[in-house]
């Protein structure tokens, strides 16, 4: 049965070696199974014939039938074209061809009735269709009444005449042959409870819908199935992990209590307390923790990480915190060293620029167990970095790290995996989080520290530069500091760098009496750090920078963020940047500078920023604008190569699929009951094809 769908696509009637190699290369279609899952992305409506009188400019595609009255070859050379008059009882329509003229001219006969299909456009008082599809009217096509599938294609396929119609033809052949070979992949009780149509009907109707209603039910069924199996797999991984991966038990909270009572610099928010409890619960559970900590920028994740570290250290084990950039690691180190010193706990910083001798010392102190807390960058992942007993690995701003890098941290302990806490400020929409991190436990800090005033976000045009500068001057005179961020993307790096330097110069000219810093990715790390440090110490008042300051940098006195060419940034990036201010007690501002001319999407992005400070709301809009593939950090995961479901649109189906999957596993964790046999079989067959992007297989 399965063997049928494993048949190489070459052996389908109408394919053969040449087309098969095209399908392999262009569409990743290798087997019958791949082909049948190559779903149309839209349908052309052939359910209706329009009369010529009914045509209008707004109609995307129309189907018309009529008699060919006249045909004419006009012009010569490049300008040569074929025009045809088609009439019905209501009027006259012109059809035009500029290419393939001779072939079409030969085929068409005056006085014969045709069916044509294409996009009408007005031409004076009449309508014409350029390059329509045209067929002789037959009893069959006269009935109309179908939705024609349109398949994803590549340019190459089109030029080799493997167009949508050709694929539809192959599909017809395949469906004809597969009749009784299509296996039901969901148990009957689920089909019944959720009113899902059988797999076979769904496949037939997704390619050749018999009605709009059946089409939508097929989509529903196939999307549900796809999301259900993803959720099932993720939930299963989680169960397996909870079952198999024992964790060290860390229960001693004495250091935590001491810190809490004697050194905590501020009252924790309720959300922070809640999350610490959740993590502490994991640490003493005896199971290995794998937890994602989501919290908007400025919500105070770092201190939560530190407090959890204290629990580890109380029991004599070690903890590591990995940050994505040198600046960030440095900043974490500076911040946490203050706390660690008060608690008399050894702490060290390890980055690419750590001197060899210092590095050696750190390595030794880690191995002996004397060094308790290590902060650093990717340098932590190197082979020589060996711990005596790593109890907790914290990964900050996770989206900058690949999954593979994270898993290296996991392997730092031989006997038992360390507990893992991944902290991210990239708000991930619920639907995405469910798919990407469905196997992790998730904690959320959904509250900002008390006393923070919401950041005011303002949109200004470049023409308002003078007013904006005056505003900045007032702020600086009141003691504040200012960020000015310029876009820099790889594709236009040279030009962007020039804009940045021009910007820097004009800032220096506009503020001759004020010290200005500049930081960008092309500077040497030492120079960058030097400038950054000057700004942190408030020796400079304005920081001109690229997005290198995007992640995590914390200067509470900086209360104004100016974003130049704001239209060139993505929404989540804008939000991240804005999060650099609003960290102190003062009112903070984010000023989005743009040109007058804005595209529709840019406009939506700017409006969204002005309207809301809520990271989750922003990420939802971002997902809608860009689609899931582009959301930060998800590109490489492979978890998003969905066949039919769309995470931006199918939130409710995903929610349902997850609930059903939880329910199924709760009642039958090993999927041993007879009614779940179908599920088990399907998981086996998916396992063969799915690339495993997670650490746990
Ligand atoms: P993020 O979640 O973006 O990593 P940080 O951990 O950098 O945020 O915290 C932002 C700032 O807020 C830091 O200066 C930190 O010391 C401060 N902070 C954290 N928690 C609180 C709190 N409960 N009350 C007041 N300030 C806090
Ligand atoms: Mg942070």
> Do both 135 and 78 map to the same domain?
yes
Which of 259, 271, 298 to probe ligand 1 with, by most ligand atoms within 8 A of CB? Answer: 298
Q: What pLDDT was estimated at residue 158? A: 85
Q: What is the CATH number of the domain that holds 331?
A: 3.40.50.300
What's the number of domains the chain is made of? 4
Nearest CA to ligand 1 atom 18: 300
Is residue 302 within 6 Å of ligand 1 at its C-beta?
yes
Any ligand 1 atom below 6 A from CB of 584: no
Pair (342, 466) in one structural domain: no
Ligand having the closest approach to the CA of 327:
2
299 lines ligand 1 (CB under 6 A): yes
**Residue 373 forms part of a structural domain:** yes
Who has greater pLDDT, 21 or 44? 21
| Res 218 pLDDT > 60 | yes
pLDDT at 400 over 70: no
Q: Is residue 191 situated within a structural domain?
A: no
Residue 404 pLDDT: 52
Strand locations in 426-580 (E): 441-445, 456-461, 481-485, 516-519, 542-545, 558-563
Q: Is the pLDDT of residue 522 over 70?
A: yes
Q: Is 294 in the pocket of ligand 1 (CB under 6 A)?
A: no
- Residues 6 or more apart whose CB falls under 8 angstroms from that of 253 comprise 280, 310, 311, 314
Q: Same domain for 411 and 271? A: yes
Q: Which domain holds residue 134?
A: 48-144
Q: Is the pLDDT of residue 403 over 60?
A: no
Same domain, 135 and 174: no
Q: Answer yes or no: is pLDDT of 694 > 50.
A: no
- Tally of CA atoms within 13 A in the half-sphere of 86 that contains its CB: 30
* 426 CB within 6 A, ligand 1: no
Mean model confidence pLDDT for the chain: 87
CB of 270 shorter than 6 A to ligand 1: no
pLDDT band at 632 (very low <50, low <70, confident <90, very high): very low
Residue nearest to atom 25 of ligand 1 (CA): 449
Q: Is residue 38 part of a domain?
A: yes
What ligand is nearest to the CA atom of residue 305? 1
- Position 630 scores a pLDDT of 52
654 found inside a domain: no
Of 302, 445, 580, best ligand 1 pocket probe by most atoms within 8 Å of the beta carbon: 302
Please tell me the number of the ligand nearest to residue 299's CA.
Answer: 1
Span 149-163, average pLDDT: 88
Alpha carbon nearest to ligand 1 atom 16, residue: 300
Helix (H, G, I), strand (E, B) or coil at 568: helix
CA 168, CA 449: separation in Å to the nearest integer? Answer: 58
- Decide whether any atom of ligand 1 lies within 6 Å of the 214 Cβ: no
- Which residue among 408, 424, 440 closes a domain? 424
Give the atom of ligand 1 at the shortest distance from the alpha carbon of 302. Answer: 6
CA separation for the pair 166, 270 (Å, rounded): 61
315 secondary structure, DSSP code: T
pLDDT of residue 362 exceeding 70: yes
Q: Are 58 and 19 part of one and the same domain?
A: no
Task: Kindly state whether residues 410 and 551 are assigned to the same domain.
Answer: no
pLDDT of residue 437: 72
Mark whether 139 and 158 lie in a shared domain. Answer: no
Compute φ and ψ for 608, nearest 5 degrees: -60, -40
CA 383 vs CA 339, 410, 561: distances in Å: 29, 13, 40
Domain termination residue (choose one: 180, 199, 233):
180
Whether 446 is in the pocket of ligand 1, judged by its Cβ within 6 Å, is no
pTM for the predicted model, two decimal places? 0.67
- 322 and 415 inside one domain: yes
Radius of gyration of the chain (CA): 31
Q: Which ligand is nearest to the CA of 300?
A: 1
Query: Can you tell me which atom of ligand 1 is nearest the CA of 396?
Result: 4
**Proximal ligand: closest to the CA of 335:** 1
Please tell me the residue having the least CA distance from ligand 1 atom 24. 449
DSSP string, 131-177: S-EEEE--HHHHT--EEEEE----HHHHHTT--HHHHHHHHHHHHHH
Which pLDDT does position 637 carry in this prediction? 42
Domain boundary among 588, 612, 636: 612
Determine the average pLDDT of the residues in 292-312: 92
pLDDT higher than 50, residue 413:
yes
What is the whole-number distance in angstroms between the Cα of residue 556 and the centre of ligand 1? 10
Pocket of ligand 1 contains residue 408 by CB under 6 Å: no
Query: What pLDDT does 582 receive?
Result: 86
Residue 254 in tokens: 């004495």
Is the CB–ligand 1 distance for residue 305 below 6 Å? no
**Statement to judge: residues 605 and 537 lie in one domain:** yes
Closest CA to 67 of 108, 12, 13, 125: 108
- Is residue 483 domain-resident? yes
Q: Tell whether the model's pLDDT for residue 408 goes beyond 80.
A: no
Residue from 267, 449, 555 to probe ligand 1 pocket by mutation (most atoms less than 8 Å from CB) = 449
Ligand 1 atom closest to 579 (CA): 3
- Kindly state the average pLDDT of the residues 57-78: 88
Q: Within this chain, do residues 19 and 166 fall inside the same structural domain, yes or no?
A: yes
Top pLDDT among 67 and 397 is at: 67
Q: Return the CATH number at 78.
A: 2.40.50.140
Task: Answer yes or no: do 111 and 137 share one domain.
Answer: yes
* Shared domain check, 52 and 39: no
């Amino acid at each position: 049965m399965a063997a049928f769908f494993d048949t190489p696509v070459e052996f389908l009637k109408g394919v053969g070696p040449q087309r098969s190699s095209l399908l392999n290369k262009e569409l990743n279609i290798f087997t019958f199974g791949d082909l049948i899952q190559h779903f149309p992305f839209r349908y052309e409506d052939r359910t209706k014939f329009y009369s010529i009188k009914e045509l209008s400019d707004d109609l995307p595609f129309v189907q018309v039938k009529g008699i060919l009255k006249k045909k004419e070859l006009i012009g010569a050379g490049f300008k040569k074209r074929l025009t045809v008059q088609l009439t019905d009882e209501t009027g006259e329509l012109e059809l035009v061809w500029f290419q393939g003229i001779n072939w079409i001219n030969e085929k068409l006969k005056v006085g014969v009735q045709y069916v044509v299909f294409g996009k009408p456009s007005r031409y004076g008082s009449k309508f014409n269709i350029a390059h329509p599809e045209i067929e002789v009217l037959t009893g069959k096509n006269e009935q109309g009444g179908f939705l024609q599938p349109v398949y994803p294609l590549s340019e190459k396929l089109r030029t080799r005449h493997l167009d949508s119609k050709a694929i539809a033809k192959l599909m017809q052949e395949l469906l004809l042959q597969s009749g009784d070979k299509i296996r039901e992949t969901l148990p009957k009780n689920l089909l019944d409870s959720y009113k899902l149509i059988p797999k076979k009907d769904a496949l037939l109707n997704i390619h050749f819908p018999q009605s709009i209603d059946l089409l939508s039910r097929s989509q529903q069924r196939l999307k549900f199935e796809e999301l259900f199996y993803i959720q099932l797999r993720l939930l299963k991984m989680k169960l397996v992990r909870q079952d198999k991966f024992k964790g060290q038990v860390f229960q001693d909270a004495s250091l935590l209590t001491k810190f809490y009572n004697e050194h905590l610099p501020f009252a924790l928010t309720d959300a922070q307390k809640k999350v610490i409890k959740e993590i502490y619960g994991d640490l003493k559970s005896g199971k290995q923790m794998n937890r994602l900590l989501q919290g908007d920028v400025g919500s105070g994740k770092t201190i939560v990480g530190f407090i959890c570290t204290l629990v580890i250290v109380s029991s004599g084990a070690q903890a590591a915190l990995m940050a994505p950039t040198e600046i960030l690691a440095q900043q974490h180190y500076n911040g946490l060293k203050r706390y660690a010193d008060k608690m008399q706990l050894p702490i060290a910083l390890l980055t690419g620029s750590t001197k060899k001798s210092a590095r050696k010392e750190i390595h030794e102190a880690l191995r002996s167990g004397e060094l308790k807390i290590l902060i650093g960058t990717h340098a932590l992942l190197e082979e020589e970095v060996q711990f005596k007993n790593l109890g907790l690995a914290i990964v900050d701003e996770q989206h900058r790290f690949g999954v593979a890098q994270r898993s290296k941290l996991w392997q730092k302990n031989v006997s038992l995996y360390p507990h893992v806490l991944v902290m991210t400020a990239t708000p991930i929409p619920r639907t995405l989080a469910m798919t990407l991190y469905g196997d992790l436990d998730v904690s959320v800090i959904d509250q900002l520290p008390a006393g923070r005033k919401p950041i005011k976000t303002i949109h200004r045009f470049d023409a308002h530069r003078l007013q904006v500068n005056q505003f900045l001057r007032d702020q600086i005179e009141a003691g504040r500091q200012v960020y000015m961020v310029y876009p820099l993307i790889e594709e236009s790096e040279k030009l962007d760098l020039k804009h940045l330097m021009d910007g820097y110069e004009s800032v220096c000219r506009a503020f001759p009496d004020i010290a200005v810093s500049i930081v960008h990715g092309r500077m040497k790390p030492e120079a960058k750090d030097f400038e950054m440090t000057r700004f942190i110490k408030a020796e400079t008042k304005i920081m001109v920078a690229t997005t290198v300051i995007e992640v995590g940098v914390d200067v509470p006195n900086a209360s104004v963020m100016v974003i130049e060419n704001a239209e060139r940034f993505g929404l989540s990036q804008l939000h991240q940047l804005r999060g650099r201010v609003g960290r102190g007690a003062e009112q903070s501002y984010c000023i989005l500078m743009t040109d007058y001319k804005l595209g529709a999407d840019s406009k939506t992005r700017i409006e969204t920023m002005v309207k809301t400070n809520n990271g989750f709301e922003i990420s939802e809009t971002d997902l809608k604008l860009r689609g899931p593939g582009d959301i930060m950090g998800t590109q490489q995961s492979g978890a998003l190569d969905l066949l039919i479901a769309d995470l931006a649109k199918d939130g409710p189906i995903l929610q349902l699929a997850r609930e059903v999957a939880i329910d199924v596993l709760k009642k039958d964790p090993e999927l041993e009951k007879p009614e779940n046999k179908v599920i088990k079989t399907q998981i086996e067959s998916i396992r063969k094809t799915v690339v495993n992007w997670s650490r746990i297989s």
